[in-house]
Copies of this chain bind each other. A is one copy, B any other.
Amino acid sequence: MLNKIKVIGFDADDTLWVNEPYFRNAEFRLADLLKPYTPGTDIVDELFKTEIKNLELYGYGAKAFTLSLIETAVKLTGKQVPAAIINEILAMGRSLMNISIELIDSVDKVLPRLQPHYKLIVVTKGDLLDQERKLKKSGLLPYFHHIEIMSDKKETDYQKLIDYLEILPEEFMMVGNSLKSDILPVIRIGGIGVHVPFHTTWQHETVNELPSQPYYEIESLSQLPDIMADFL
C-alpha cells in the first residue's frame, strides 16, 4: 500500500513542535487568577465548556482561546472580574502567539530524508497567521511544498484537500498526534494514517471509539523513515 504514497501531510502543533503544554499552562494561570472570585468552581472545566460553545463561531487557535479565557473570567466572576486580570489574560494570549519553537524529536532530521521522494505539506487547523509564523520560526519551511490551513479536520475537509491536490486517497499519508483529527478521518476516506502520540492532548481531541481500519502507530517521528524504508 505504501508504494502509492505521493503526498505526506504533517499536522503541526504537537506533531512538529510543542504546543499544548503552553495552552495547559495558560489554563492553570487562569484558574489561579480567578480562584479568589469563585472558590469551589472547576475553572478549567468551565473554560473547556466555553471553548466548546465557541468552537463553531471562533474556530481553533490562540486568538479564539484568548477570547474564551476572557469570556470565562467575565462569566465566572458574575461580571466582577477586575480589568487588571483582563489585561493579564490579553498578555497571556500574546505570549501564546509568541512562543519559541521547540521541535519534537528529530523532525529536522526526518523531513530531509523524505523530501526528495514525496511532496510534504503541513495540514493544520490552527490560526493562519499564527501557524505561518510558527512554521517560519521552526526552520522547517524549506522542507514543505506548502501549508494547508483548514477550518476543521473532518472527512469532508480531507476529501477536499485530496481533490485539490489532484491525487487519490491511497496516495495520501497523514502524520499527526491526534487520532480524532489526523488519523480517523483520513483512514475512513481511504488514506494512510500514522499516529505519533504526544504526552499532552487537549480534551476535545480525545476519542472513545476505536478505529475499524488499520493505521500505523509510532512512538517517535524518527521511526517514520523506517516505515517508508523500501522507498527512500
Residues of A within 8 A of B (CB): 57-59, 63-64, 66-67, 70-71, 73-74, 77, 79-84, 86-87, 90, 93-94, 97-98, 127-130, 132, 146, 149, 151, 164
Contacts of A77 in B (CB 8 A): 83
- A90 with B63: in contact, given A57-B98, A58-B129, A128-B149 (CB under 8 Å)? no
Beyond contacts A66-B67, A81-B83, A127-B128: 12 other A-B pairs, Cβ-Cβ < 8 A, are A57-B97, A58-B63, A58-B97, A59-B129, A59-B130, A63-B67, A70-B86, A79-B83, A79-B84, A82-B83, A83-B86, A127-B127
Contacts of A59 in B (CB 8 A): 127-130
Who on chain B is nearest to A131 by CB?
B151
Contact of A128 among B79, B87, B151 (CB under 8 A): B151
Q: Give bound CA distance, A74 to B57, whole Å.
A: 24
Structural contact, B149 and A164, CB atoms closer than 8 A: no
Contacts of A70 in B (CB 8 A): 70, 86, 90
Contact of A90 among B71, B80, B132, B164 (CB under 8 A): B71
Q: Give bound CA distance, A38 to B87, whole Å.
A: 18
